[in-house]
Amino acid sequence: MTDAIRAFYDAVAEDYADRFRDVFAAQPLELALLTGFAGLVRTASGTGGKVADLGCGPGWVTAHLASRGLDVFGLDLSESMLRVARRENPGLRFEQGSMREPGIPDGTLAGVVSWYSSIHTPQEGLPALFAGFRRLLVPGGHLLLAFQAGEKALRLERPFGHPVTLDFQRRRPDRMAEALETAGFTLVLRSERAADEEQGESTPQAFLIARRPPADRSGPPCAGHVRVVEGQVGE
């Protein structure tokens, strides 16, 4: 699965950047949410702490969070996306890697962001993905997720004319919130806004903020089970 995701975004990176470069100009609610997330992280971590934008793409979320005072870096599978991110956001740090095995020490991040990057993970891979996010966070650290709300996956074929195909999962926010709680998070915010058809959206957009409980100093729940699931699913 990882290879298909990387190949897809390597092919579309420049077109994706051209299509969505100014998207936040039409998304004041998203900007407010990102600013609110930055405030939560700063408040919880005192002097601050590192934040990872996992599946950062062109790095625009990374840049907005940095402008709000966070010590944030981006990570992505796709070298082409990272080339765009580095070019468009000089001065910020972007690294190649998988959010499933990011090579970041456990318990070291004040915040984790997955902004439309869990949308290619199959349903059965979500428990391991969320358990991994929780492990990365310090106790009291925050997670922000954005995704398309809905039930049916969309298969995108030949995007911008490139010969690649990828499934985009749409998910019910209540089910995602439950999955986060099962992974040991406490839900902080669940919000959904209507599809903006003028921007070409066909589904509502969902946003969840969750927190690793401050008193949680344990390992992941059912660690043995999670390892088995990771072994089965891979990416």
Pick the binder of ligand SAM from 56, 112, 177, 210 (CB under 6 A): 56
Residue 5 contacts ligand SAM per CB under 6 A: yes
Q: How far is the CB of 215 from ligand SAM (least distance, A)?
A: 30
Part of the chain binding ligand SAM (CB under 6 A), chosen from 110-118, 158-166, 187-195, 206-214: 110-118
- The residue among 140 and 153 lying less far from ligand SAM, judged by its C-beta, is 153
3-state secondary structure 59-83: CHHHHHHHHCCCEEEEEECCHHHHH
Residue of 50, 120, 135, 142 that binds ligand SAM (CB under 6 A): 120
Distance (Å, rounded) from C-alpha 188 to C-alpha 143?
A: 9
How far apart are the C-alpha atoms of 66 and 70, rounded to whole Å?
Answer: 5
Stretch that binds ligand SAM, among 51-59, 153-161, 177-185, 222-230 (CB under 6 A): 51-59
> For ligand SAM, which residue of 27, 35, 98, 182 counts as binding (CB under 6 A)?
98
Binding-site member from 30, 76, 216, 230 for ligand SAM (CB under 6 A):
76
Q: Name, in order, each residue with C-beta under 8 angstroms of 65's C-beta and a sequence gap of 6 or more.
A: 34, 37, 38, 51, 53, 72, 113
Q: CA gyration radius for the chain?
A: 17
User: 139 vs 154, which CB is nearer to ligand SAM?
Assistant: 154
Where do we find the tokens 């699965």?
1
11 near ligand SAM, judged by CB under 6 A: no
Question: Which of residues 127 and 216 has its CB atom nearest to ligand SAM in the complex?
Answer: 127
Distance of closest approach, residue 235 Cβ to ligand SAM, in angstroms = 5
- State the CB neighbour count (10 A cutoff) for residue 164: 17
Determine, following the binding rule CB under 6 A, whether residue 9 of this chain makes contact with ligand SAM: yes
Instruction: With beta carbons less than 8 A apart as the criterion, state whether 132 and 103 touch.
Output: no
65 interacts with ligand SAM by CB under 6 A? no
Kind and range of the H or E run holding 110 = strand 109-115
Query: Among residues 9 and 185, whose Cβ is nearest to ligand SAM?
Result: 9
**Residue 93 carries which side chain, given as an amino acid letter?**
R
List strands edge to edge, sheet with 205-211. 93-96, 71-76, 50-54, 109-115, 137-148, 205-211, 186-193
Binding positions for ligand SAM, rule: CB under 6 A? 5, 9, 55-58, 60-61, 76-78, 81, 98-100, 115-117, 120, 235
